[in-house]
């Protein structure tokens, strides 16, 4: 069946103080990726992306750069370790896009024509409208299980947490702060593209 995905990252976070002279509230829809991770970021007053959106059929692509792990351990690494390295790379790429509020930078993190890309593009556009960007968004991968591994699609069950980060204006002043989020479980779908593996979708798993 098809894997549904949405935004990644921590659950809706609590804001700093509001009111005169206070910091604006934040809205952080759950995303997960990344990892990758990922992370859908939004300033108050923005319309948050859907937490669940269908991913489309994965595009097939041969060759290309980027890491390309397989079910066979590479250089002494297990498949889980190889995919963890891929997710960590994608998480850094997504964070960079939010740090720069750069739509083009999302190409290094999200798969073309994917739910992940649509959600992240909406977030970056909102940051641009607010003349804001984020500090580095760091996602800690606690556990990873491979649920599906094909030539052009991988589904991973990932337990991750997001460290605290800030929203900044063009001068670097802090507009708002987002606290760290507790560990949560995401089902992440990756597609193989001409540029390597990219995040395609994320689905939160209810605890229990």
Residue 22 has pLDDT above 80, yes or no: no
Model pLDDT, residue 58:
37
140-144, 192-196, 203-207, range with the lowest pLDDT:
203-207
Residues 65-71: contacts with CB within 8 Å, 24+ apart?
A: 65/195, 65/196, 66/195, 66/196, 66/197, 67/196, 67/197, 68/192, 68/196, 68/197, 69/197, 70/149, 71/149
Model pLDDT, residue 76:
76
Residue 127 has pLDDT above 90, yes or no: yes
User: What residues pair up with 161 in beta bridges, in sequence order?
Assistant: 140
Q: How many CB atoms lie within 10 A of CB 1?
A: 3
Instruction: Please state the rounded mean pLDDT for residues 1-12.
Output: 43
User: What residues pair up with 26 in beta bridges, in sequence order?
Assistant: 43
CA atoms within 13 A on the CB side of 104: 0
Instruction: Please state the rounded mean pLDDT for residues 60-82.
Output: 57
pLDDT level of residue 208 (50, 70, 90 thresholds): confident
Backbone torsions φ then ψ of 89, nearest 5 degrees? -65, -40
Instruction: Please state the rounded mean pLDDT for residues 195-199.
Output: 96
2-16, 17-31, 51-65, 131-145, range with the lowest pLDDT:
51-65
CA atoms within 13 A on the CB side of 137: 37
How far apart are the C-alpha atoms of 48 and 29, rounded to whole Å? 7
Residue 67 has pLDDT above 90, yes or no: no
Model pLDDT, residue 30:
33
**DSSP letter assigned to residue 50:** P
Model pLDDT, residue 74:
58
- Which residue carries 């889980």 as its tokens? 80
In percent, how much of the chain has pLDDT > 70? 64
Provide the token pair at 123. 């977030």
- For the chain, which domains are there? 4-60+72-205 (3.10.450)
Instruction: Please state the rounded mean pLDDT for residues 6-14.
Output: 41
How far apart are the C-alpha atoms of 49 and 46, rounded to whole Å? 9
Residues recorded for the chain: 208
Residue 66 has pLDDT above 60, yes or no: no
How far apart are the C-alpha atoms of 16 and 7, rounded to whole Å? 22
């Amino acid at each position: 069946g098809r894997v549904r995905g949405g935004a990644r990252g921590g659950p809706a976070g609590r804001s700093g103080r509001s009111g005169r002279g206070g910091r604006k509230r934040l809205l952080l829809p759950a995303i997960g990726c990344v990892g990758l991770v990922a992370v859908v970021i939004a300033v108050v007053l923005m319309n948050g992306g859907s937490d669940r959106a269908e991913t489309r059929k994965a595009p097939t692509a041969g060759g290309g750069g980027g890491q390309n792990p397989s079910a066979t351990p590479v250089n002494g690494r297990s498949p889980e370790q190889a995919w963890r390295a891929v997710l960590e790379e994608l998480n850094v790429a997504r964070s960079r896009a939010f740090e720069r509020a750069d739509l083009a930078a999302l190409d290094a993190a999200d798969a073309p024509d994917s739910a992940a890309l649509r959600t992240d593009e909406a977030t970056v556009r909102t940051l641009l409208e607010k003349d804001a960007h984020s500090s580095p968004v760091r996602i800690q991968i606690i556990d990873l299980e491979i649920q599906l591994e094909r030539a052009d699609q991988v589904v991973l069950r990932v337990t991750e947490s997001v460290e605290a980060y800030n929203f900044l204006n063009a001068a670097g002043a802090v507009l708002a702060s987002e606290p760290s989020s507790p560990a949560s479980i995401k089902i992440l779908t990756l597609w193989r593209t001409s540029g390597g593996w990219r995040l395609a979708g994320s689905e939160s798993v209810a605890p229990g």
